[in-house]
Structure 1
């Protein structure tokens, strides 16, 4: 139940779902009129620690397939976590209605999920084990992209000298049927723990057989006869009871799924559709420096060089000078361009004029914008003042600071970007 303060800020519309940690509601911000997902976690339960950990995890993450956290509130009875509301259909509901999905479609979704896991497992200094991969926690958006929600039992792995990198010293229980053996047998957790759950999830999607209700179907590899030989080989390795015999990383599994898609005859016939999947490895690069040092010139040079290699590129102009606007449109007006404008082949430009960014109402809008751009462009180049970049630093893969007009080693910069 919401208290007076929280209710004055967020109005519950309807319940979106529920789980072991609490209920999730669609809520409207009464002042701004926009919609958010609010997870309401009761205190005084065994799962309360997960409620405290989830915002700590989400606030440090930036991936187009993950929700962003915007507010956390606590009263005597509950913890409230306010996150992006992701509009779409849960994969559990999807297969309940459709029965199952084609192997190719499951493989494409699996590649997107591998991207998320690779990102989580690669967090520094503490890798993140998601711990609860299942169709209920995966949303298919209207744009046919995958979003991963509910970090209620995720674990930030503390790496010490007493254990191999990427292993958690204590296990936690996930969902029976999907959870890896080490999660409920007290074993160490590692990236292969999430790979096991993803393998079970993909089998569920392809066969339509729920592992919670029909766990025997998954024992002794009984599911293999329902899969193609190529997919059987991949998923059998994913769900090996021994974690050391699974794929070691999400990247390895992703390569196997991509190879499967390329080798399958129906994929080769529709290769163009496959190539047009969202750019789930989008890189965001910022260029900044003192006025007059050539920031805009370097931004354009880097973008053009990248676009010539066949990459889709978007330049986001957050500067106050509007120099890029003048370069592309020969205009002296500081105006906001509502959608990215095509400048050259594979190259787009997006101008946003703002006087103050940090802690302003525009911040949430810009966060959402960058998330949307990451789904469409392989590279995003941002020209902005250091103050603005500080406010969005969680989005940035690299920041290049131009200090003077001396020649710059462009080739070395691109070795960094493409590494």
Structure 2
């Protein structure tokens, strides 16, 4: 990133005590800080530098930053990070959010390996709650537009938070139906690469791709949208989950789930079915152990 970074221990913007650097990129950095005006809570300070940008690059970055900040300031949901404030200083923009203690789904799976089926179902249900909230905003639904493992945080107690609203937008009738030109290979729906509209079913495709990747850790872009059935890569996967993800990942939007609430309902059925099976197995195991105990002591 261009320019001098914020120094550890310094008081920034008269409010944020910089503690450490969480990450640095070519034009953005994220710092961990303590908010001296918000009960000393930890926050993440996202800094975006436009130094050396052309006029066109500056306009694009300015629009993207203001859009992300404006979206997040209006939204309030347990599965979304709370925004404290956003502001600009000279050629740099700052977005201050609550600090999320955890790792991105991408980081966690690269460290621990593919997620279990129970984890995938749990994460899927939580992401569905967030998407359901966004898709039901008034007066117009919000299209997230860039759901992927690196934009999903998993806290240390297993809670999911969806981050990064850089390409989100309202689906207002008066707006251009095309989303921001940026795509995420393997996770963006096929229609986002073409001239066709990308509606809420685009988020459903990205949800399916994210959960599929979490369970297989396989780069989906290599399949060129011809993604094989889940059980070809994970033979022990539940057929119900395989069918659910296959419908999310249909190439034609019309063949996908229409509403994320339908995906959530299917995941809930799968979760409940698995719980019933576990309960029956535990009960049967208890019966067998009881019979063995009575048999053993009956012979003594």
Contact map agreement 1:130 1:154 (CA 8 A) in 2: yes
Distance in 2, Cα, partners of 1:119 & 1:238:
19
Choose the corresponding residue for 1:28, options 28, 34, 39: 34
Q: Go from structure 1 to structure 2 and tell me whether the alpha carbon gap of 1:125 and 1:143 turns closer, same or farther (over 3 Å shift).
A: same
Per-residue deviation, 1:5: 8.5
TM-score where L is the length of structure 2? 0.78
Aligned to 2:270: 260
Contact map agreement 2:229 2:246 (CA 8 A) in 1: no
Contact map agreement 1:171 1:184 (CA 8 A) in 2: no
TM-score where L is the length of structure 1? 0.57
Q: Go from structure 1 to structure 2 and tell me whether the alpha carbon gap of 1:268 and 1:136 turns closer, same or farther (over 3 Å shift).
A: same
Per-residue deviation, 1:169: 1.1
Choose the corresponding residue for 1:242, options 223, 245, 252: 252
After superposition, give the CA deviation of every residue in 1:80-115 in whole Å (9 maximum; x if it has no partner). 011111111221111111211111220111011001
Aligned to 1:76: 90
Choose the corresponding residue for 1:189, options 185, 198, 214: 198
Which ranges in structure 1 are unaligned for 5 or more consecutive residues? Answer: 161-166, 272-419
Which structure 1 residue ranges, 4+ long, deviate > 6 Å from structure 2? Answer: none
Per-residue deviation, 1:11: 3.2
Q: Find the residue that maps to 2:227 and give its secondary structure.
A: helix
Per-residue deviation, 1:19: 6.6
Aligned to 2:15: 9
Q: Find the residue that maps to 1:104 and give its secondary structure.
A: helix
Q: Go from structure 1 to structure 2 and tell me whether the alpha carbon gap of 1:230 and 1:190 turns closer, same or farther (over 3 Å shift).
A: same
Q: Go from structure 1 to structure 2 and tell me whether the alpha carbon gap of 1:270 and 1:130 turns closer, same or farther (over 3 Å shift).
A: farther
Aligned to 1:141: 155
Aligned to 1:128: 142
Q: Go from structure 1 to structure 2 and tell me whether the alpha carbon gap of 1:185 and 1:79 turns closer, same or farther (over 3 Å shift).
A: same
Distance in 1, Cα, partners of 2:26 & 2:165:
12
Distance in 2, Cα, partners of 1:26 & 1:66:
18
Contact map agreement 1:153 1:174 (CA 8 A) in 2: no
Contact map agreement 1:42 1:78 (CA 8 A) in 2: yes
Which ranges in structure 2 are unaligned for 5 or more consecutive residues? Answer: 281-300
Aligned to 2:100: 86
Q: Find the residue that maps to 1:222 and give its secondary structure.
A: coil
Per-residue deviation, 1:223: 4.4
Distance in 1, Cα, partners of 2:22 & 2:195:
32
Choose the corresponding residue for 1:41, options 34, 48, 51: 48
Aligned to 1:170: 178
Aligned to 1:409: none
Choose the corresponding residue for 1:180, options 183, 189, 194: 189
1:7-406 matches, within 5 Å, as: 7-17=13-23, 22-30=28-36, 33-43=40-50, 44=53, 45=57, 46-160=60-174, 169-172=177-180, 173-211=182-220, 215-217=221-223, 219-224=225-230, 225=232, 226=234, 227-264=237-274, 268-269=277-278
Total equivalences in the alignment: 261
After superposition, give the CA deviation of every residue in 1:314-371 in whole Å (9 maximum; x if it has no partner). xxxxxxxxxxxxxxxxxxxxxxxxxxxxxxxxxxxxxxxxxxxxxxxxxxxxxxxxxx
Distance in 2, Cα, partners of 1:55 & 1:117:
18
Distance in 2, Cα, partners of 1:18 & 1:248:
38
Per-residue deviation, 1:14: 2.6
Per-residue deviation, 1:198: 0.8
Per-residue deviation, 1:73: 1.3
Q: Find the residue that maps to 2:147 and give its secondary structure.
A: coil
After superposition, give the CA deviation of every residue in 1:163-196 in whole Å (9 maximum; x if it has no partner). xxxx961222231211111222232121111111
Q: Go from structure 1 to structure 2 and tell me whether the alpha carbon gap of 1:85 and 1:236 turns closer, same or farther (over 3 Å shift).
A: same
Distance in 2, Cα, partners of 1:136 & 1:82:
19
